[in-house]
Amino acid sequence: QQDLNNHIPLHIARLQQLENQLKQQQYSLTKGKKDEKLNEIIQFIQDKLLPLFDEDLILKFFGQNNSSSNER
């Protein structure tokens, strides 16, 4: 189970499932329930997805791409 906690495609599939549920129920949900669903999605991203990424590495990657594209 430890390996599944770091399996990004699994988390992406769950995120897509949550989004699809929200879309399907969009017209039948009250504003409060929609907010609950959105908060569930945000919480999922915070808890499961964001910890899997190295923020410094991502910033370095985009920083390098940005600086090299500006030199052209």
Q: What is the pLDDT of residues 37-60, one digit of tens each?
A: 999 999 999 999 899 889 898 888
Q: For residue 68, give every residue at least 6 positions away whose Cβ sits within 8 Å of its Cβ, in sequence order, or none.
A: none
The answer on pLDDT for 21 being more than 70 is yes
- Residue 71 pLDDT greater than 70, yes or no: no
- Evaluate the CA torsion angle 30, 40, 61, 63 in order and state its sign: positive
Mean pLDDT of 23-42: 92
What is the pLDDT, as a whole number, of residue 4? 78
Give buried/exposed letters for 34-58 (b at 16+ CB in 10 A, else e): eeebeeebeeeeeebeeeeeeeeee
Query: pTM of the predicted model, to two decimals?
Result: 0.67
